[in-house]
Amino acid sequence: MTSLIIDMVVRMKNGYMADKPAITCRYSKLNTNVLELLKKRALYKRLCCN
């Protein structure tokens, strides 16, 4: 089993390196909380988790 947070962070990095406007990742409450924390700390300007 892979870690959902690690998977999300790797997708974010790869999307950034490929200059993608958006990425998709698996939904989980933990991922949503991590994204909200990143948004709160102003590390990313636009984040959403569907």
Positive or negative, the Cα torsion across 9, 15, 20, 22? negative
pLDDT given for residue 18 in this prediction: 92
List of residues 6+ apart from 25 with CB closer than 8 A: 4, 7, 8, 11, 31, 49
Q: How confident is the model at residue 10 (pLDDT cuts 50, 70, 90)?
A: very high
Residue 7 has phi, psi (to 5 degrees) of: -60, -45
How does pLDDT run across 19-42, given as a tens digit for each residue? 888 888 888 898 888 888 888 887
| Closest alpha carbon to 21 in 29, 30, 12 | 12
